[in-house]
């Protein structure tokens, strides 16, 4: 994947090649979506605020929230390359996070877009 500038590796370059592993959501003009569960030390380290900034800078809609079991849950909708850029960031997170894993499930139904607010929001 090609990024916009070395100074900001989290900005999606539309010239990059998208990962086809996420299927397009039917009826949404090529938008893709996914549900993510991020595990590790991801709460209390500004993970959600940082994820919101990365998602918004890449034009990705959706939400994230802390879960009672210590994970962060997120739902992302946007162009394939933008989602892949956000997922790449999710695998490392902000400076003090220690990401152990990112479980990604593709969203395949158009109705799931209704649960993807724009701009990206933090839910409590």
Domain limits of the chain?
Answer: 3-122
Phi then psi for residue 104, to 5 deg, are: -120, 130
What does the pLDDT profile of the chain (124 residues) look like in tens digits?
A: 333 333 444 444 433 434 445 555 554 566 788 999 999 999 999 999 999 999 999 999 999 999 999 999 999 999 989 999 999 999 999 999 999 999 999 887 766 665 677 889 999 8
Instruction: Enumerate the active-site residues.
Output: 48, 66
- pTM score: 0.76
CA distance 39 to 2: 27
pLDDT in the model for residue 15: 37
For domain 3-122, give its CATH number from 3.40.50.970, 3.30.70.100, 3.40.50.1950, 3.40.50.300: 3.30.70.100
């Amino acid at each position: 994947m090609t990024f916009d500038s070395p100074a900001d590796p989290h900005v999606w370059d539309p010239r990059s090649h998208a990962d086809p592993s996420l299927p397009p959501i039917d009826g949404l003009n090529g938008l893709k979506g996914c549900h993510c569960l991020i595990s590790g030390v991801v709460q209390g380290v500004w993970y959600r605020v940082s994820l919101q900034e990365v998602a918004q800078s890449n034009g990705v809609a959706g939400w994230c929230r802390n879960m009672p079991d210590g994970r962060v849950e997120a739902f992302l909708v946007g162009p394939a390359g933008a989602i892949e850029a956000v997922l790449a960031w999710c695998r490392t997170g902000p400076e003090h996070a220690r990401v152990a894993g990112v479980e990604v499930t593709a969203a395949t139904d158009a109705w799931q877009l209704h649960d993807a607010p724009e701009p990206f929001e933090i839910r409590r």
